[in-house]
Chains A and B, each alone.
Chain A
Amino acid sequence: MKIQTIKSKKGTTIMYQVLIHLILIALIFAMFFLASVNKVNSRNVKQQVLEKQTALLIDSAAPGTTISIFKNNKYGRIDDLQVKEGKLYASVDGLAISKGYPYFSKYSVSIDSDKDKWHVRIK
């Protein structure tokens, strides 16, 4: 009877250990999978394209130009768009804001938004 109880306890302990083990491995792989998905779904490439296209438009724009960009466009949802210290920063589909891309326009550049568009104003 005693031996049976000891065996049953041991079995339960091993089962818990294996369970914890599996949960931890699953967590590691979930983190890895999420990080891979970020890379594979090309959000960062879309973000790069958006930043560079907008920076080039700013560089070549004459004063008085307003560049309007739909918040929901083919690059995904543009959550944030800002200019800071000569660089343009964009955030696409919830991706963290990037290192930004520099522009060299000699005019003053500002960004504002309405319900469904970002407006880049060159003054």
Chain B
Amino acid sequence: MKLKKLNKKAAIGEGILMIYRLFLVAIIAIMILGLSAIFYDYYINVRDVEARIMAKQAVNCLVPEGNIDFNRIKNYEQKFLKDLCGINNLDRFYVKVNVSEGNKQLILLQQGDSGMAWIKEIFKNKNLASKVEKYQPGQFNQNYPANLIREGKSVRANINVEVFVNNEL
């Protein structure tokens, strides 16, 4: 009777020990898997390319054949990409188009969250950038010469297009 009781106790103890061992093995396996996931995880950043494509789309829309019509764009200082160019899915973008004649700014069009420019500035800190590189916004900045048509006159103008693309994560 006593021996039976002892055997039962031993079996329970053995069972608990087995669960404990399996738990340890599982923890070790998960740790190795976690480490391999970190080392083998690879992120491809194409935001700079997206910024370049967006700049091209904006310029093609605002400056068809190298001519920019002031009357056509003057009422679209905000949301020009959506309302004038019909581009959707702009949640990740900040686009700024500055039309100037010499040093004189004629019109500034912008759409999106301008805070992205500030985030991009933070990423200039190389120590920080290496740690959170995959969140770095994409950027493209380019000047284009164009003819500005205003009140029937054509003047030589400069268009500066700056695009920031936020991460999609």
A-side interface residues toward B, CB under 8 Å? 17, 20-21, 24-25, 28-29, 31-32, 35-36, 39-40, 42, 45, 48-49, 52, 56, 59-60, 86, 101-104, 106
B90 and A101: CB pair below 8 A?
Answer: no
Q: Among the listed stretches B27-35, B113-121, B140-148, which one makes contact with chain A, having 4 or more residues with CB under 8 Å of it?
A: B27-35
B157 to chain A, nearest CB (A): 25
* Bound complex: CA A103 to CA B22 (Å): 46
B-side interface residues toward A, CB under 8 Å? 14, 18, 21-22, 25-26, 29-30, 32-33, 36-37, 40-44, 46, 49-50, 53-54, 56-57, 85-90, 92-93, 168
A106 and B42: CB pair below 8 A?
Answer: no
Q: Which residues of A contact B90 (CB under 8 A)?
A: 104
Q: Which residues of A contact B26 (CB under 8 A)?
A: 28
Query: Which residue of A has the minimal Cβ distance to B168?
Result: A102
Query: Which residue of B has the minimal Cβ distance to A58?
Result: B53
Q: Which residues of A contact B42 (CB under 8 A)?
A: 42, 45, 48
Q: Which residues of A contact B86 (CB under 8 A)?
A: 106
* Bound complex: CA A24 to CA B29 (Å): 13
* Bound complex: CA A40 to CA B43 (Å): 14
Q: Which residues of A contact B89 (CB under 8 A)?
A: 86, 102-104
The residue from A36, A45, A48, A86 contacting B36, defined by CB atoms under 8 A apart: A36
A29 and B29: CB pair below 8 A?
Answer: yes
What are 13 A-B pairs at a CB distance below 8 A? A17-B14, A25-B22, A28-B22, A29-B25, A31-B29, A32-B30, A32-B32, A35-B33, A40-B36, A42-B42, A104-B87, A104-B88, A106-B57
* Bound complex: CA A103 to CA B36 (Å): 31
Q: Which residues of A contact B87 (CB under 8 A)?
A: 104, 106
Q: Which residues of B contact A28 (CB under 8 A)?
A: 22, 25-26, 29
A32 and B29: CB pair below 8 A?
Answer: yes
The residue from A21, A40, A103 contacting B18, defined by CB atoms under 8 A apart: A21
Q: Which residues of B contact A49 (CB under 8 A)?
A: 44
A78 to chain B, nearest CB (A): 17
Q: Which residues of A contact B49 (CB under 8 A)?
A: 56
The residue from A29, A32, A52, A106 contacting B46, defined by CB atoms under 8 A apart: A52
* Bound complex: CA A62 to CA B54 (Å): 13
Q: Which residues of B contact A48 (CB under 8 A)?
A: 42-44
Q: Which residues of A contact B41 (CB under 8 A)?
A: 39
Q: Which residues of B contact A20 (CB under 8 A)?
A: 18
12 new A-B pairs (CB below 8 Å) besides A102-B92, A104-B89? Answer: A20-B18, A28-B25, A32-B33, A36-B32, A39-B37, A40-B40, A42-B42, A45-B42, A56-B46, A60-B53, A86-B88, A106-B57
